[in-house]
Amino acid sequence: MLKFILLILLAVGGWYFWRRLSAPRTPARAPQERLPERMVACAWCGVNVPEGDALRSGERNYCCAEHRNAAENKSGD
Ligand SMILES: [Zn+2]
């Protein structure tokens, strides 16, 4: 009798496990708003910075104010 119960438990457990494995998985969709941020190169040193962190000056992007100032001072006069 004990063997019979164990067999049923095994069958139920196996069926449950198999169902879990073969269940259609809903693909974890990446939220559309979490797009990777575009990288822009600093016009002075060339380092890549996220567009949101870059300092814009005209059409050029800079990684920091220092480089923006340096570029403007060099080409300004
Ligand atoms: Zn820079």
Residue 75 has pLDDT above 90, yes or no: no
Q: Is the dihedral of CA 13, 19, 21, 26 positive or negative?
A: negative
Q: Is 23 or 63 the better-scoring residue by pLDDT?
A: 63
Q: What is the pLDDT, as a whole number, of residue 22?
A: 86
47 within a domain of the structure (yes/no)? yes
| Number of domains composing the chain | 1
9 within a domain of the structure (yes/no)? no
12 within a domain of the structure (yes/no)? no
Surrounding residues of ion ligand 1, Cβ less than 5 A: 42, 44-45, 63, 67
Instruction: Give me the domain span that covers residue 50.
Output: 37-77
67 within a domain of the structure (yes/no)? yes
- Going by pLDDT thresholds of 50, 70 and 90, the confidence category of residue 67 is very high
Rounded to the nearest angstrom, the distance between the alpha carbon of 19 and the centre of ligand 1 is 55
Rounded to the nearest angstrom, the distance between the alpha carbon of 1 and the centre of ligand 1 is 78
60 within a domain of the structure (yes/no)? yes
27 within a domain of the structure (yes/no)? no
Cα separation, 5 vs 10, in Å, equals: 9
**Do 4 and 12 form a contact (C-beta atoms < 8 A)?**
no
- Going by pLDDT thresholds of 50, 70 and 90, the confidence category of residue 27 is low
Rounded to the nearest angstrom, the distance between the alpha carbon of 70 and the centre of ligand 1 is 9
